[in-house]
Amino acid sequence: MSVAKKDYKRITVKTLVDMKANGEKISMLTAYDYTMAKIVDGAGVDVILVGDSASNVMAGHETTLPITLDQMIYHAAGVVRAIERSLVVVDLPFGSYQSDPKEALRSAIRIMKESGGHAVKLEGGKEVKESIKRILNAGIPVMGHLGLTPQSIYKFGTYTVRAKEEQEAEKLKEDALMLERIGCFAIVLEKIPAKLAQEVAESISIPVIGIGAGNGVDGQVLVLHDMLGMTHEFHPRFLRRYMNLYEDMTNSISQYVKDVKDLDFPNEEEQY
Ligand code: KIV
């Protein structure tokens, strides 16, 4: 049974800002297809992120870099067809916004037109400021993403906690203020110290959604397949697994194989 607040008929970017102002925490999960998005939306999740983590989770790539704009649009369109209440935010994939603001706008417009998503998310601070401004000027809501930004994994070299050093923490704080100032409606903070994340959340009026950023922020996001325990090789400290679907699915599928081999399936009632 869902304990989410159902009194918002439809979540908009304004709803999220109001939630922060009212002290109500925001729930966000990823989804990449129609069937999963229908369950996530029906369970009362406020924001569905069609994350470029689809590159890992759905396509089996090692990083988020290979996924294309066309593939993101394909995933997002399925999600949008499923939802009744959640806000759908779609990641701009690597290479679709970094080179120049015009290309960033073209990519964001394709996402909005071809998938029906409600907003886009992109990674980075002042390096992508002009691209974000261009997208915002076209009336497209933008969610920022700071801290561990997986599209820059080859620059970082590792997925460890970011902004532990003073200099990087200062830049992150400046970037968060800048993202609020230019008009982003929310920011994801990934894998940074909880104290820093709380400080950022308290310094701005737009919602800060954390993943591995502690409890002092305005909402939480997890990758759906991780929190359901469908993936099992990934054990970051911040991940709470609510199910062990890897084991349950493996057991069910093994049972099916056995039933077929033993001529137990289909039985009399399961045929015409
Ligand atoms: O792509 C993704 O799933 C994300 C979340 C980890 C925030 O960006």
259 in the same domain as 235: no
Q: Does residue 2 register a pLDDT over 50?
A: no
What is the residue-wise DSSP string for 140-203? --EEEEEES-GGGHHHH-S-SPP--SHHHHHHHHHHHHHHHHHT-SEEEEES--HHHHHHHHHH
> Best substitution site from 28, 49, 145, 217 to test ligand 1's pocket, by max atoms within 8 Å of Cβ?
49
Residue 154 and residue 182 share a domain: yes
- Residue 210 and residue 168 in contact, taking contact as beta carbons nearer than 8 Å: no
Going by CA atoms, what residue is nearest to atom 2 of ligand 1?
Answer: 51
Same domain, 182 and 271: no
Domain count, the chain: 2
Sorting pLDDT into bands at 50, 70 and 90, what band is 159?
very high
The answer to whether position 3 is within a domain reads no
Whole-model pTM: value is: 0.96
Asked if 234 and 252 sit in the same domain, the reply is no
pLDDT(11) > 80: yes
115 domain-assigned:
yes
* Residue 31: partners with Cβ closer than 8 Å, 6 or more residues away: 37, 40, 48, 49, 50, 79, 82, 224
Residue 6 lies in a domain: no
- In the residue annotation, 190 being an active-site residue is answered as yes
**For position 5, what pLDDT does the model report?**
55
Residue 131 lies in a domain: yes
Residue 39 structural domain: 13-241
- CB of 123 closer than 6 A to ligand 1? no
Residue 47 near ligand 1, beta carbon < 6 Å = no
Is 46 touching ligand 1 by the criterion CB < 6 Å?
no
Query: Residue 124: which CATH number?
Result: 3.20.20.60
**What pLDDT, on the 0 to 100 scale, is given for residue 4?**
52
Nearest to 72 by CA among 100, 39, 30, 35: 30
Of 1-15, 33-47, 105-119, 170-184, the one with minimum mean pLDDT is 1-15
If asked whether residues 61 and 161 sit together in one domain, one would say yes
State the alpha helices, DSSP H only, in the chain: 13-21, 34-42, 54-57, 69-82, 101-115, 129-137, 153-156, 166-182, 194-203, 224-227, 245-261
Residue scoring higher pLDDT (232 or 133): 133
- Give the pLDDT confidence score for residue 234 in this predicted structure: 85
pLDDT one-digit tens code per residue, 65-96? 999 999 999 999 999 999 999 999 999 999 99
Relative to the CA of 57, which ligand 1 atom is closest? 3
Decide: 33 and 71 in contact? Cβ < 8 Å: no
Residue 141 domain-assigned (yes or no): yes
What average pLDDT is seen over the chain? 96
Both 203 and 160 in one domain: the answer is yes
Q: Is 210 in the pocket of ligand 1 (CB under 6 A)?
A: no
Regarding whether 154 and 42 lie in a shared domain, the answer is yes
- Residue 81 shares a structural domain with residue 153: yes
> Cα(72) to centroid of ligand 1, in Å?
13
Between the CA of 234 and the centroid of ligand 1 the distance, in Å, is 14
**1 confidence band (pLDDT: 50, 70, 90):** very low
30 CB near ligand 1 (under 6 Å): yes
Question: Helix (H, G, I), strand (E, B), or coil: what is residue 49?
Answer: strand
Rounded to the nearest angstrom, the distance between the alpha carbon of 29 and the centre of ligand 1 is 9
Indicate whether 35 belongs to any domain.
Answer: yes
In this model, does residue 6 exceed pLDDT 80?
A: no
Are 268 and 228 within one domain?
A: no
The SS3 call for residue 247 is helix
Q: Fill in the amino acid letter for 85.
A: R
- Predicted confidence at residue 233, as pLDDT, reads 86
The answer to the question of residue 111 being in a domain is: yes
Give the integer Cα–Cα distance in Å for 37 and 22.
27
Residue 240 has pLDDT above 70, yes or no: yes
Same structural domain, 42 and 145: yes
Q: How far is the CA of 253 from the centre of ligand 1 (A)?
A: 29
Could you tell me if 217 and 201 lie in one domain?
yes
Averaged pLDDT for residues 137-141: 98
145 CA → ligand 1 middle, Å:
9
- Residues 20-55 pLDDT 10s: 999 999 999 999 999 999 999 999 999 999 999 999
- Establish if 232 belongs to a structural domain: yes
- 182 with 270, same domain: the answer is no
Given a cut of 80, whether residue 7 has pLDDT beyond it is no
